[in-house]
Chains A and B, each alone.
Chain A
């Protein structure tokens, strides 16, 4: 069974801190994604990556960056955390088009910025 692991379930950080959210998958998936989930807004795509060292902006990339140095790991970085980044962050991975379909999500990291 595919496993997508997010390093922290709950995180509390102070405004202005640099925050790292880690995501690791163990099924050799090429594609990895970071979403944030907010009530009434659904899941919004922050960044995604279709290959190692490749990254593309999603719909709401402002205030975030990512790193993908290894195929299994995709890190989301909040350069200077702000209170409006308080949210649930979900990582997902998948095979590319033409192979198996669908995302596998991690359990999520609930980040609170105070």
Chain B
């Protein structure tokens, strides 16, 4: 079963709040990803974890802080966000990193920063 579960599905937060997005997969995948997607745009890569280690940070502002507690879980901690950070945040996982591995996406968290 190719399933990536994200919580919450929707989140509204103020600019001074701290919140976390959560992602879980039980497919034994060793690579996990955070993407940000704005309306009518393709997903933009934020972070890649491979074997629980951060391997790519796409110059994401420090107000976004990823964490990979174990091979099944990926968190994204949010603090002092701006209204322009409102977007769909997608988690994905793949068996490995590398060119021939398919990525599977969670349903996303729709974030609104007010």
Are A and B genuine complex partners? no
Could you tell me which A residues sit within 8 Å of B by CB distance? Answer: none
